[in-house]
Amino acid sequence: MMARSHALSGAAGWLAVAPPLAQATGHPLSPGTLAASTVVAAGAALLPDLDHEHGTLAHGLGPVTRVLTEVVADVSGGHRHATHSLVFGAGMGALAAVALTSRWLLMLAMAGFLAATALRALELPRVGWPKSYAVAALATAAAARWLPGPWPWLPLAVTAGCWLHLAGDLLTPRGCPLLWPLPWRLEVPLIDIDTSSWRETRLIAPGLAVAVVLLSWTHFA
């Protein structure tokens, strides 16, 4: 699937699941928290593709992600291996939890990077990686001003974003090694598409965008 579809699925999935879950557990999300966590979930929904040296993320966010994707691809065994597992999503959430408790600046850096990732995934015209980082830094600074940390929702949004990426890739041929390090590759190829096929650019991505708008309307209007 395209980066844009993954980011939109992360946002839509989080908007659909997080508010009722938060309500049920007696910790309702404020509008500001819901907005910030949705952006983080959208960015985190790109993280499993850090193993893709030629993906949008590799070239999308400048030298940082170019080097990062090369290292992750080498360490994880190549595209759609270790990073496309439940363990990886849980690990990224644990990393966010560590950032949360150790250094506030680390937490903001992680949230800012994921916000830049989400913005870049949308592939807006004339918004390259320097602008994406600049806008994300401003948005993160505003969030830090209005939503004083620590942000207990951050690890959950990161793990949810990663797992929503897996849900998307599971629906396509090749699937994911969901239970890695166990060797089985799971797939439910309901969407037999090539990345960037017309079905994805004209149907799936716009459908997800509509879902994000409708869910946002429900929660914020």
Site for Zn ion, rule CB under 5 A: 48-49, 169
User: To the nearest whole angstrom, how small is the minimum distance from the Cβ of residue 127 to Zn ion?
Assistant: 23
Closer residue to Zn ion (CB): 76 or 140: 76
Q: Which residue type, as a one-letter code, is found at position 45?
A: A
User: To the nearest whole angstrom, how small is the minimum distance from the Cβ of residue 84 to Zn ion?
Assistant: 6
Closer residue to Zn ion (CB): 197 or 216: 197
Return the axis-axis angle of helices 104-121 and 86-102, rounded to nearest 10°. Answer: 140
Closer residue to Zn ion (CB): 37 or 56: 56
User: To the nearest whole angstrom, how small is the minimum distance from the Cβ of residue 64 to Zn ion?
Assistant: 19
Closer residue to Zn ion (CB): 109 or 122: 122
Q: How far is the C-alpha of 209 from the C-alpha of 186, rounded, in Å?
A: 27
Q: Give the Cβ contact number of residue 140 at 10 Å.
A: 23
Contact 211, 12 (CB under 8 A): yes
Q: How far is the C-alpha of 112 from the C-alpha of 23, rounded, in Å?
A: 26
Closer residue to Zn ion (CB): 99 or 120: 120
User: To the nearest whole angstrom, how small is the minimum distance from the Cβ of residue 185 to Zn ion?
Assistant: 13
User: To the nearest whole angstrom, how small is the minimum distance from the Cβ of residue 82 to Zn ion?
Assistant: 12
Return the axis-axis angle of helices 31-44 and 104-121, rounded to nearest 10°. Answer: 70
176 DSSP β-pair partners: 186
